[in-house]
Structure 1
Amino acid sequence: MAEKIKLACIIDDDPIFVFGTKKMMQYTGFCDTFLIFKNGKEALDHLSVILIEKKPIPDIIFLDINMPVMDGWQFLEEITKIDISETLKIFLVTSSETQEDRDKAKKFSAIKNYVVKPITLESLQELLPTI
């Protein structure tokens, strides 16, 4: 089993996905502490302060592409402009299966993997040891 994650961040406007992912992370014993944001703007506002003040960042970020206010792509553009010493570990978790989105994801070094929803217990267990 992978080392336990201290803090996970979920940026997604789907409450069912957020609830299910949290429960699976808790059930598997990978993580018990979460930051939850409903859109990229909420996440950017909170995480940019953490990054600028050099406070501990989340061990993993699950990021949806399609959200209101600020989508996942806009979030990525803005968060990667911040000069930080630690590496962000972002897993794009989306319902989009288009090659265009997959290719776009490859342009961001912070994206560790592209996962098509729904996330399952098996896919979560495959992802987490790579962190």
Structure 2
Amino acid sequence: MKFNNVFVIDDDKVFHFIIKKLLASNNINVEPRFFENGLQALEGIKINLQKEEAPPDLILLDINMPILDGWEFLEEFKILKNRLQKEIAIYIISSSDNIVDRNRAKDFKDEIKDYFLKPITVDGLKSIFY
């Protein structure tokens, strides 16, 4: 397993539940931390930095959220990532199949590993974790 510390950033509680179930049923042994918007997740990363704790290895990121959406999170993350001791793998998991969003993801090619549509499949999940 290449990821231990996983952040799931998504305002959809059903998605939180589905991810937990998918991870468990596929023997992917991680304890994800859930955040309902990008601001909460940025705070989580900053707290890790202050406490000199490891930042997440992996972030599963939704695009459409209140307060700080996925794109705004990525803009802030670009600034913050220079302070991190390691690279964080970020995968977008979104219900948006909009070409505008897909093209915008290319603007973050240094941050985003891949873009998956909801609902994420078992194969999609395995391609992230294995």
Q: Does TM, normalized by the shorter one, top 0.5?
A: yes
Q: Give the aligned partner of residue 119 of structure 1.
A: 120
Q: Which amino acid aligns with 1:126?
A: S
Q: Give the aligned partner of residue 13 of structure 1.
A: 11
Instruction: Name the CA shift for 1:89/1:51 in 2 (closer, same or farther; >3 Å).
Output: farther
Cα distance in 1, alignment partners of residues 105 and 7 from structure 2: 18
- 3-state SS of the aligned residue for 2:76? helix
Which deviates more from structure 2 when the two are superposed, residues 42-51 or residues 92-101? 42-51
Q: Is contact 2:2–2:129 with CA below 8 Å preserved after alignment?
A: no
Q: Which amino acid aligns with 2:13?
A: P
Instruction: Name the CA shift for 1:94/1:43 in 2 (closer, same or farther; >3 Å).
Output: same
> How many residues are treated as equivalent by the alignment?
127
Cα distance in 2, alignment partners of residues 98 and 46 from structure 1: 29
- 3-state SS of the aligned residue for 2:8? strand
Q: Give the aligned partner of residue 71 of structure 2.
A: 73
Cα distance in 2, alignment partners of residues 106 and 23 from structure 1: 30
- 3-state SS of the aligned residue for 2:93? strand
Cα distance in 1, alignment partners of residues 22 and 57 from structure 2: 16
Structure 1 portions without partners, runs of 5+: none
Cα distance in 2, alignment partners of residues 121 and 51 from structure 1: 32
2:108 is the counterpart of 1:104: no
Cα distance in 1, alignment partners of residues 68 and 36 from structure 2: 10
Cα distance in 2, alignment partners of residues 17 and 107 from structure 1: 26
Structure 2 portions without partners, runs of 5+: none
Q: Give the aligned partner of residue 91 of structure 2.
A: 91
Deviation (angstroms), 1:52: 5.3
Q: CA RMSD in A?
A: 1.5
Deviation (angstroms), 1:99: 1.6
Q: Which amino acid aligns with 2:31?
A: T
